[in-house]
């Protein structure tokens, strides 16, 4: 997996942007951009915002590799995109050693429960509060539900499909022979499954739109009937007046 734009934006919000090289207290090397640090950064160096973004994405490759490797080998869950982004941000800040400690042998909920344990008690109160804020936002992203389209990409078997509307549709498609299923596994590609589910969803939207239009037409018909009844009443009243005059 790689970091989504949402994850990149989260890291950028924490790291801040420096278009000129700065040397932080106690550090051996200079820092530039969104926390890019190392011997390649020179005193007085300046970069553009676009170059800073490119450096960040270049740096993230190593952290993505660590997250992919360690989560696969040590964690007791398969991360979705939000969880992966949160872990990359955590690793970018705390390092691969802390990442391994955070996830080793833990479920997703257990990992979420331990985020706030990494706030470095040393340093100023403002510095520690900044770390607490970062851990809280990383934890919030880690626990955030996936967008529907992203979640569909992870459907490999019927057990992966959320209960409710989509589970019912997939089960119906299996029962009618449109989808092949064996021992709970879906015998088709992810793209095929997503295409079928999207078609089902599109049909539902069409039906909902048709119902909404039908409701609107019904309301207009009711208005027209009420208007007609009003006209009939006026005609009747006018006729009665004419009879009186005659």
For 213-226, how does the pLDDT look when each residue is reduced to its tens digit (9 = 90+)?
Answer: 676 677 777 787 88
CA 16 to chain centre: 23
Half-sphere exposure of 152 toward its Cβ, with a 13 Å CA cutoff? 16
The domain defined by 5-146 folds into: Lysozyme (1.10.530)
Number of H helices, E strands in the chain: 9, 5
**Res. 183 pLDDT band, cuts 50 70 90:** very low
- Active-site positions read 15
Two structure tokens written together for 140: 């919030």
pTM (predicted TM-score): 0.60
Sort 37 into a burial class: Cβ within 10 Å, 0-12 / 13-18 / 19+.
middle
Helix (H) / strand (E) containing 36:
strand 36-38
The edge-to-edge listing of strands for the beta sheet with 30-33 is 18-22, 30-33, 36-38
What span, in angstroms and rounded, lies between the C-alpha atoms of 161 and 191? 14
d(CA 194, CA 188): 10
The CA-based diameter of the chain, rounded to the nearest angstrom, is 111
- Domain positions in the chain: 5-146, 150-245
pLDDT of residue 92: 94
- Average pLDDT on 203-221 reads 67
How far apart CA 230 and CA 219 sit, in angstroms, is 16
The pLDDT of residue 144? 85
Specify the DSSP class assigned to residue 115.
G
The backbone torsions φ and ψ at residue 46, rounded to the nearest 5 degrees and listed phi first, read -130, 145
């Amino acid at each position: 997996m790689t970091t989504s734009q949402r994850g990149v934006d989260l890291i950028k919000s924490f790291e801040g942007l420096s278009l000129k090289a700065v040397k932080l207290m106690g550090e051996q090397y200079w820092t530039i951009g969104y926390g890019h640090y190392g011997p390649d950064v020179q005193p007085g160096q300046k970069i553009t915002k676009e170059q800073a973004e490119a450096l960040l994405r270049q740096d993230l490759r190593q952290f993505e590799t660590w997250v992919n490797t360690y989560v696969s080998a040590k964690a007791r869950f398969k991360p979705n995109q939000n969880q992966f982004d949160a872990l990359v941000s955590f690793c970018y800040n705390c390092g691969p050693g802390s990442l391994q400690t955070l996830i080793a042998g833990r479920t997703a909920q257990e990992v979420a429960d331990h985020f706030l344990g990494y706030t470095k008690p040393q340093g100023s109160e403002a510095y520690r509060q900044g770390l607490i804020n970062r851990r809280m936002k990383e934890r919030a992203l880690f626990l955030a539900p996936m967008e529907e389209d992203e979640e569909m990409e992870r459907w490999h078997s019927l057990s992966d499909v959320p209960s409710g509307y989509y589970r019912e549709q997939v089960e119906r498609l299996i029962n009618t022979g449109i989808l092949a299923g064996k021992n709970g596994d879906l015998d088709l590609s992810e793209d095929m499954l997503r295409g079928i589910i999207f078609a089902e969803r599109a049909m539902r939207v069409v039906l909902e739109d048709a119902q909404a239009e039908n409701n609107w037409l019904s309301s207009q018909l009711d208005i027209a009937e009420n208007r007609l009844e009003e006209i009939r009443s006026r005609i009747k009243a006018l006729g009665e007046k004419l009879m009186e005059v005659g």
